[in-house]
Amino acid sequence: MKRATPVKAHGEPVIRCALATRPAAADLLALLNLATSQEKVAAWAQTPVGETLHDTAFVVTDHYNDEGQRRR
């Protein structure tokens, strides 16, 4: 499982997903189409670890702050 490095996001915590398999381009496009507002992304940021992002198949594996430290 490949883990990506978190990226700073305007002072907000970053959601990190680790995928067992590479998602299809259509799945990524659908995810981007769902991220239509800051409110939607902010709601996703509150998703507990282990749960899926609302209306997606993506599961949250960790939460990180802007310094790249895991939130507990």
- 8 pLDDT above the threshold of 60: no
The full set of domain ranges for the chain reads 14-64
Residue type, 32: L
Burial class (CB in 10 A: 0-12, 13-18, 19+), 15: buried
Place of tokens 């709601």: 43
Q: What is the pLDDT of residues 13-58, one digit of tens each?
A: 555 666 677 888 898 888 888 888 888 888 888 899 899 988 888 8
State pTM to two decimals: 0.59
**pLDDT confidence band for 2 (50 / 70 / 90):** very low
Question: What is the DSSP-derived secondary structure letter of residue 10?
Answer: T
